[in-house]
Structure 1
């Protein structure tokens, strides 16, 4: 599929409700377990998504669209949720994510992005030059990747319990 901003917004708008449906009434065993050392739990993933809403997508889109000469992005702290989400309930995190996403989608609309804006560039600290279209497509795929990650982390909690059916459950092999 070719990038289309309105199609991306369909996903971005839906993600908070998807996560609320997946996670809001689950026990801590589902929310705080992960896949092992140096992996994230569903709780940590939601915290990571919050940090992205605060410091990444819209901030970087505005840098790309700005009139300034310096289009360099600040590095993204991929582990900020370890300190920022500590002691917060999943309900608190989901509500914060929902509110931030709503604000960011409103900000995105206010930017009045035109077709010609998609090729404008910013500078990622690791990747070098990136376009606005790539940033917005990445925001969409980032959401989908973390939804899939949450499902995988949760499925792996029963990886031993499914016994021989594991041969048929691709989610346990990733």
Structure 2
């Protein structure tokens, strides 16, 4: 499939709903468990998505589209959510994620991005020059990756409980 902005928006619009259906109202064991040391729980993942909404995607899109000569992106702290308030409930995080995502998608749509804008570039602190199409594609795939990660983390909570079926459950062997 070739990139189309509206197809990326289809994914970006649905992610908060998917996460809400998957996590809302679950017990702490489901949302706070992880895969071991230095891994993230579903709670941590939602916090990471919120932090990205507040400090990454739209700011970088605006940097690319700006007329400024400075196209350097600010570095993104991929672990910032671990320093945030850990007292919020998962439902509070989901509401916050939904709100900031709606806001950002409204901003994205208001930019009236044209086909020729997709090749405009910014400078990533690690990768160097990247274009708008790559950034927006990454935003959508980032969402899908974290949805898969949440599912994997949750599935692994029953890894020792599934018995011989483990051989047929690829999600438990990743």
- Whether TM exceeds 0.5 here: the answer is yes
Matched, 1:162 2:162: yes
> How many residues get paired?
174
For residues 93 and 14 of structure 2, the distance between their equivalents in structure 1, rounded to whole angstroms, comes to 16
Alignment of 1:2-151 (within 5 A): 2-151=2-151
Q: Would the alpha carbon gap of residues 133 and 120 (structure 1) be closer, same or farther in structure 2, given more than 3 Å must change?
A: same
Cα shift readout 1:117-169 (whole Å, capped 9, x = no counterpart): 00000000001000000000000000000000000000000000001110000
Report the Cα offset of residue 25 of structure 1.
1.3
Report the Cα offset of residue 85 of structure 1.
4.0
Give runs of ≥4 in structure 1 deviating > 6 Å: none
For residues 47 and 117 of structure 1, the distance between their equivalents in structure 2, rounded to whole angstroms, comes to 30
For residues 84 and 113 of structure 2, the distance between their equivalents in structure 1, rounded to whole angstroms, comes to 32
For residues 34 and 116 of structure 1, the distance between their equivalents in structure 2, rounded to whole angstroms, comes to 43
For residues 123 and 163 of structure 2, the distance between their equivalents in structure 1, rounded to whole angstroms, comes to 48
**TM-score by structure 2 length?**
0.99
Instruction: Calculate the aligned-residue CA RMSD, in Å.
Output: 0.5
Q: Which runs of 5+ in 2 are unaligned?
A: none
Q: Which runs of 5+ in 1 are unaligned?
A: none
Contact residue 47 and residue 85 of structure 1 kept, 8 A: no
For residues 10 and 87 of structure 1, the distance between their equivalents in structure 2, rounded to whole angstroms, comes to 32
